[in-house]
Amino acid sequence: MATDTANAPRPMGGPWGFKIAGVGAALPEKILTNEDLTAWMDTTDEWIRERTGIEERRIGGSTSGLSTEAAQLALADAGVEASDIDQVILATTSPDHICPGTAPAVARELGILAGAFDLQAACSGWVYGLVMANGLLLQGMDRILVIGAESLDRITDYHDRGTGILFGNGAGAAVVERAEPGHGELLSWDLGSNGNYVHILYADHGGVLQMDGKEVFRQAVTVMQRSATASMDKAGLTADDIDLVIPHQANVRIVESAWKKLGFSMDKTAMVLARTGNTSAASIPLALDDARRAGRISDGDIVMFLGFGAGMTWASAIVRWAE
C-alpha cells in the first residue's frame, strides 16, 4: 500500500495528475505464422496479409502467466515495488477460470496484497481499465496496475477461416500513478457500448469465438470514428494535436478506414498487429510498449488510446504523457 490513507477519498475535481509511469509486455514463445495455417486451412499468406495486415500471432502460455510477466516488466520500468501498488485491474476476455477472476492469482504471483479484479469489456478492456484507474486516483489511491492479457488460443478455432487467422495471445501492463498537477493528465475519455450487437462476436461457455466479420468490420470503423471524435471534442483537440494514436490491433484495414474520416495518419499510429495478430485486451498496451521502446513517445506528447470490441464496446482516452 503506497500510503495508509489510500482509501480516504479526496475531494472530487482536484487537480490530480495522471501518469503512465511504466509499461511492460509479454508474448508467448510459440509463433503461428500465416504459412503454418495453410497446412490445415484453405488460405494463403498473401490473402491474410492483404485482408488483415497480420503475418503471425503467438500461441501458448496462460493469461495469468503472461500478465505476471508483463506486470513485472512494468513495475521495473516504473521503478516501483509490488508493495507500492494499491489496486490491480486485469482486462481480459480469456481468464484462466470462469471463477475466480485471474487478477488475484496475478497479484499473488507479484506479491501484491491489494484489491485485484478482472474487467471484461473485450478488446476495449484495457482502455476501460485506464479510465477506472483515473477514478481510483481521484478516490485516493496512488498507484494502480492496469493489465490487458489474453490467451485467446483457448477460445479460437484455428481451423476456422474467419477467426483462426486473426487471434493470438499476449499481455501488456501499465503502472498508472498520480502525477504533479498540470504535468501528466487524462485529458478526456469516452466509454460506450451497444448491446444490440452482442451476437456479431461472442463465445459461449466451453465454446470458441463466433464472428460476423463483415458486420464487426462495419461497426468497428463507425464506433472508432465516433469515440475518437467524442474524446477530441471533450478535450478541445483536433487530429493535428494528437502526437500518437494507439488503436486496438484487429485489422489494419479497419484502422485505415476509420482514419480517413478522422484525419489521422498511419505515421502517427502505433501498430504491432503484423506480428501479434488480434490480442484483444492486450493489443493496445502491447502497441504502447512497442512505441515507447521505439522512442516514439516523449514528455508532453498527446497520446490517444482507441479501442473497440465484442459487446460492442468501445473506449477512447487522451493522455498528456509525462516522463
**Residues marked as catalytic:** 123, 248, 278
Tell me whether residue 173 or residue 250 sits nearer to ligand COA (CB atom). Answer: 250
The closest residue (CB) to ligand COA is 213
Q: Is 162 in the site for ligand COA (CB under 6 A)?
A: yes
- Cβ-contact 139, 10 below 8 angstroms: yes
Q: Find the binder of ligand COA among 2, 171, 232, 250 (CB under 6 A).
A: 250
What is the residue whose three cell numbers read 498511419? 266
Contact stretch for ligand COA (CB under 6 A) within 61-69, 107-115, 128-136, 159-167: 159-167
Q: Is 145 in the site for ligand COA (CB under 6 A)?
A: no
Tell me whether residue 250 or residue 282 sits nearer to ligand COA (CB atom). Answer: 250
Closest approach, Cβ 319 to ligand COA, in A, equals 22
CA distances from 244 to 54, 268, 287, 298, 303 (A): 21, 5, 11, 10, 5
Q: Is 179 in the site for ligand COA (CB under 6 A)?
A: no
Mapped onto helix, strand or coil, the DSSP state of residue 269 is strand
Q: Is 64 in the site for ligand COA (CB under 6 A)?
A: no
Q: Find the binder of ligand COA among 309, 316, 320, 322 (CB under 6 A).
A: 309
**Which positions from 94 to 133 touch ligand COA by CB under 6 A, shown as an x/- string?**
-----------------------------x----------
What does the chain come to in residues? 323
Tell me whether residue 78 or residue 245 sits nearer to ligand COA (CB atom). Answer: 245
Tell me whether residue 253 or residue 296 sits nearer to ligand COA (CB atom). Answer: 253
Smallest CA-to-CA distance from 76 within 105, 110, 100 is with: 110
Mapped onto helix, strand or coil, the DSSP state of residue 154 is helix
Q: Is 272 in the site for ligand COA (CB under 6 A)?
A: no
Tell me whether residue 47 or residue 158 sits nearer to ligand COA (CB atom). Answer: 47
Rounded distance, CA 154 to CA 184, Å? 38
- Backbone torsions φ then ψ of 111, nearest 5 degrees: 80, 25
Closest approach, Cβ 213 to ligand COA, in A, equals 3
Q: What is the DSSP string of 101-131?
A: -SHHHHHHHHT--SEEEEE--GGGHHHHHHH
Rounded distance, CA 19 to CA 16, Å? 10
Closest approach, Cβ 202 to ligand COA, in A, equals 11
Contact stretch for ligand COA (CB under 6 A) within 9-17, 174-182, 249-257, 290-298: 249-257
Strands (E), 82-227: 87-91, 115-119, 143-151, 169-177, 185-193, 201-202, 210-211
Distance of CA 7 to the CA centre of its chain: 26
Rounded distance, CA 273 to CA 246, Å? 11
Considering only residues 7 through 26, tell me which ones interact with ligand COA, judged by CB under 6 A: none
- Cβ-contact 164, 157 below 8 angstroms: yes
Q: Find the binder of ligand COA among 89, 105, 127, 165 (CB under 6 A).
A: 165
Tell me whether residue 59 or residue 123 sits nearer to ligand COA (CB atom). Answer: 123
**Which positions from 204 to 223 touch ligand COA by CB under 6 A, shown as an x/- string?**
-------x-xx-xx--x---
- Cβ-contact 79, 175 below 8 angstroms: no
Mapped onto helix, strand or coil, the DSSP state of residue 174 is strand
By CB under 6 A, name the binding residues for ligand COA. 43, 47, 51-52, 123, 161-162, 165-166, 201, 211, 213-214, 216-217, 220, 250-251, 254, 278, 309
